[in-house]
Structure 1
């Protein structure tokens, strides 16, 4: 049996003390926004594109290596050092279909969302405390949403 694997991104978007999740139209679960990495697209470009399409938000990706000394050591520019994901997860979609999901954290300047045509309109901002009550989200999604708030949320 041939197994199909696609690279995808998930983006946990934080504004102030809340993280944005949505009800995925296909999977009917509460998940972060995201999607497939297209041919000739860098993962961080996918994050920016998917966030804009699905939420209308302009985002700034969190870079865990910001101010890294590797730029100088390796002779690479900031553009050549790709933003690494916070987590990488192999997600089984079907028996013969997997997503290699790159999970990123990002910040936004507003709570005002405006999803594009055909995108989920069920977008929800959650505080860390409210995440405890979300039953339709996988455990890992809740854990990463809390971690994103710990890193990017206002204290």
Structure 2
């Protein structure tokens, strides 16, 4: 069986020591903002666009950027993590769909969520502190808890 892979970008948005998560309608799991990288986008551009669409504001990406440049090369913001995620696993164990995920951290200017048209409503979003992430680790994916805690630490320590 051939596995379909899509590039996606995710942003763990942090404000005042907490990270924003929502229970994703289609995937039925708690996740941060993010989505597919469009054909004409770079990963960090998709991350910023998805955050703007889903949360209604721009974030400051916490992303290292090299200073390597030439006539044909330029550096772009680097993700904090680069993950391969199984999305569609069959009973046989075969994986039909995977996401190649560029994970960014973002510093939010506010906690006032105002999603764009067609996005999940603001009431579906919750701000989680590191302690709340740990306390709900039975219902949150382990990677979301770990990366959420790392994002809070990184953004809060800037």
Which TM-score applies when normalising by structure 1?
0.88
Cα deviation for residue 118 of structure 1 reads 2.3
Unaligned runs of 5+ in 1: none
Relative contact order, higher structure (CA 8 A, sep 6+)? 1
Cα deviation for residue 88 of structure 1 reads 1.0
Give the equivalent residue in structure 2 for 1:149. Answer: 152
Which TM-score applies when normalising by structure 2?
0.86
- The count of corresponding residues between Structure 1 and Structure 2 is 148
**Equivalent of residue 86 in structure 2, options 92, 99, 111:** 92
RMSD: 1.9
Measure the CA separation in 1 of the matches of 2:70 and 2:53: 31
Unaligned runs of 5+ in 2: 89-94
Measure the CA separation in 1 of the matches of 2:69 and 2:157: 35
Task: Please give the residue correspondences for 1:2-151 in structure 2 after superposition, counting only pairs within 5 Å.
Answer: 2-65=2-65, 70-71=66-67, 74-75=68-69, 80-94=74-88, 95-121=95-121, 122-134=124-136, 135-151=138-154
Measure the CA separation in 1 of the matches of 2:76 and 2:116: 27
Cα deviation for residue 133 of structure 1 reads 2.3
